């Protein structure tokens, strides 16, 4: 970070240095020119990569210390293709969003001034944007729990200065504190007010302002907070608002929060939404929401299949062995680790760390398949039902756990039972279950698009079609039927 300076509250920031970009539209806006330059793929990988401290002679240190040395592997970050996609998505959102927010553009200044007056006069219209046409958008990053979504976002953001201080631009006095990005977490109770309060408190913590005391009172409604959030965001030059853990947004309060997201985009604020597949249902309700909330970049990160990507990740961590006997990587070891982790990157690292620690503790001093299986059995006990569901490929077993619902990255829909069966070998134990599902799914083709009352079973089935759920899933979730897999498991005993 160049030219570090400190704000009155002690927060570190940088002094703006204006760069010239090959794109002419970037060179008229100080909020863009103060950002880091765009990088090619090789440079992005170098920026993202984190290697732990490792020396070959450390394997001869006393075992009590080596056990702790192995924990350094948790610091390792190996860039994969999806991480480069996330990098490009974040940078693109920030720069694209700033295009229409040039502080020296007369139309943008007029929009800010008019909005401020309307807020003061309590005449603010949430749907009015005067002559301001936003270039803001939204990116989504949806993937399995344990695939490192939050870690990836944090690695990308660590390479982007969060606070930039402007003093002068092209000989013109320009006193501005620019907050490039802000990261919040979706409240577990789906409360929009809690999200608004979190916004003001985070801003005050970072910039040393008093927005919370100034704008927030016990009796202030969310409707009054929304225009204030938009106005504050423009005043501090907020480039990107990141909302993590969006799967926490449940049915109660979901519509209000999603409308809030759409409003922010319409008012010129960029969004990035992060969550597990449990957040998928939020994006399929209405076209106006889906169009805005998935209009810029949609990145799906399922568990890795056994192949080049998984092998590359495993080989990148394999060279860090603190056991006295170095074991070269081979396909047999790779398949054993994949079987116990199902390509979930967090579990891959943990399994390799715990296996080394066990090998050091018991004196074997080398990683073996037996040790890998023993560690997985002892350390992943609570995860076994989820891992077994992934191994089975059974969509009904997988549907029990929202965090591991597989999403088709090509069309952004959850894979249904028919698609899943095409990709896996026939399992004789599931023949009866498949027949049951086929019989239930058959009426789906004949279902006419009519308007039904909410208490009509046909209404539920029609809604299921719209959000890409099978009739079986709809009936099961609404407790009209029981889970047939329980019957099959009992019969198999």
Q: Give the tens place of pLDDT for each residue, 146-183.
A: 999 999 999 999 999 999 999 999 989 999 999 999 99
Q: Is residue 61 part of a domain?
A: no
For 428, phi then psi, to 5°, come to -55, -30
Cβ contacts of residue 46 below 8 Å, gap of 6+?
none
Q: What is the CA radius of gyration of the chain?
A: 26
Euclidean distance between CA atoms 279 and 342, whole angstroms: 22
What is the reported pLDDT for 128?
56
Of the three residues 301, 319, 346, the one that is the final residue of a domain is: 301
Residue 332 lies in a domain: no
The answer to the question of residue 410 being in a domain is: yes
Residue 298's pLDDT band (cuts 50, 70, 90): confident
Q: What percent of the chain has pLDDT over 70?
A: 80
- Identify whether residues 172 and 268 lie together within a single domain: yes
Asked whether residue 284 carries a pLDDT value surpassing 80, the answer given is no
pLDDT digits (tens, 9 = 90+) for 128-141: 555 567 888 888 89
Task: Bin 26: left if φ > 0, else alpha if -120 < ψ < 50, else beta.
Answer: alpha
Q: Is residue 159 part of a domain?
A: yes
**pLDDT given at position 443:** 46
Query: 300 and 412 in contact (C-beta within 8 Å)?
Result: yes
Which CATH number is 119's domain given? 3.40.50.300
Residue-number span of the structural domain to which 240 is assigned: 4-34+80-301
pLDDT band of residue 81 (cuts 50, 70, 90) is very high
Based on the fold, state whether residues 144 and 242 are members of the same structural domain.
yes
What is the Cα–Cα distance from 435 to 428, expressed in whole angstroms?
12
On whether both 286 and 419 belong to a single domain, the answer is no
- Check: CB of residue 277 under 8 Å from CB of residue 406: yes
Q: What is the pLDDT of residue 80?
A: 95
In the predicted structure, residue 469 carries a pLDDT above the cut 90: no
pLDDT at position 293 is 58
Q: 163-169 and 172-179: which strand pairing?
A: antiparallel
Number of domains in the chain: 2
Position 54 in a domain? no
Rounded to the nearest angstrom, the gap between the alpha carbon of residue 315 and the centroid of all alpha carbons in its chain is 25
pLDDT of res. 473: 75
pTM of the full structure: 0.79
Token pair for residue 132? 């301001």
Last residue of some domain: 269, 301, 333?
A: 301
pLDDT at 441 over 50: no
Which one-letter DSSP state was computed for residue 69?
H
Task: Give Cα 152 distance to the centre of its chain.
Answer: 9
340/347 Cα distance (integer angstroms)? 9
Q: What is the pLDDT of residue 295?
A: 55
| Average pLDDT of span 81-106 | 93
Is pLDDT of 38 > 50? yes
**Do 203 and 95 belong to one domain?**
yes
Domain closes at, from 234, 266, 301: 301
More confident residue, 5 or 292: 5
The answer to whether 136 touches 268, Cβ cutoff 8 Å, is yes
Least confident of 76-90, 204-218, 325-339, 395-409: 395-409
pLDDT at 9: 87
Of 444 and 173, more confident: 173
């Amino acid at each position: 970070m160049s030219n570090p300076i400190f704000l009155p509250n002690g927060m570190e920031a940088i002094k703006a240095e204006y760069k010239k970009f090959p794109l002419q539209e970037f060179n008229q806006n100080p909020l863009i020119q103060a950002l880091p330059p765009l990088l090619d793929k090789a440079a992005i990988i170098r920026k993202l990569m984190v290697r732990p401290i490792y020396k070959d002679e450390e394997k001869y240190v006393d075992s009590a210390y080596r056990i702790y040395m192995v924990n350094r592997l948790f610091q390792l970050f190996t860039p994969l293709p999806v991480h480069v996609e996330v990098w490009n998505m974040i940078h693109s959102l920030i720069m694209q969003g700033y295009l229409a927010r040039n502080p020296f553009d007369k139309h943008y200044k007029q929009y800010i001034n008019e909005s401020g007056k309307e807020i003061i006069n309590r005449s603010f219209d949430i749907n009015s944007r005067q002559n301001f046409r936003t270039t803001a958008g939204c990116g989504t990053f949806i993937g399995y729990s344990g695939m490192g979504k939050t870690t990836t976002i944090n690695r990308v953001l660590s390479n982007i200065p969060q606070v930039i201080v402007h003093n002068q631009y092209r000989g013109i006095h320009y006193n501005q504190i620019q907050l490039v990005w802000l990261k919040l977490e979706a409240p577990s109770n789906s409360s929009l007010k809690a999200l608004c309060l979190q916004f003001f408190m985070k801003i005050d913590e970072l910039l040393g302002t008093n927005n919370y005391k100034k704008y927030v009172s016990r009796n202030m409604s969310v409707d009054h907070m929304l225009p204030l959030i938009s106005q504050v965001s423009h005043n501090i030059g907020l480039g990107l608002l990141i909302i993590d853990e969006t799967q926490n947004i449940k049915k109660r309060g979901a519509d209000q929060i999603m409308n809030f997201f759409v409003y922010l985009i319409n008012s010129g604020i960029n969004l990035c939404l992060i969550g597990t597949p449990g957040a998928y249902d939020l994006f399929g309700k209405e076209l106006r929401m889906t169009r805005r909330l998935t209009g810029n970049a949609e990145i799906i990160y399922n568990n890795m299949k056994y192949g080049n990507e998984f092998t590359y990740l495993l080989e990148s961590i394999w060279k860090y062995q603190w056991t006295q006997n170095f074991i070269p990587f081979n396909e047999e070891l790779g398949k054993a680790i994949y079987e116990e982790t199902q390509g979930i990157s967090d579990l891959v690292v943990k399994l390799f760390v715990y296996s080394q620690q066990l090998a050091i503790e018991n004196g074997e001093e080398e990683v073996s398949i037996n040790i890998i299986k023993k560690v997985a059995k002892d350390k992943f006990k609570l995860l076994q039902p989820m891992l077994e569901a992934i191994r089975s490929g059974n969509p009904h077993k997988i549907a029990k756990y929202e965090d591991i619902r597989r999403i088709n990255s090509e069309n952004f829909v959850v894979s249904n039972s028919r698609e899943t069966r095409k990709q896996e070998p026939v399992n004789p134990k599931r023949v009866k279950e498949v027949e049951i599902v086929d019989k239930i799914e058959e009426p789906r083709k004949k279902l006419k698009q009519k308007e039904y009352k909410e208490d009509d079973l046909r209404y539920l089935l029609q809604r299921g079609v719209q959000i890409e759920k099978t009739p079986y899933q709809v009936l099961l979730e609404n407790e009209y039927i029981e889970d047939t897999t329980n019957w099959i498991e009992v019969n198999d005993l």
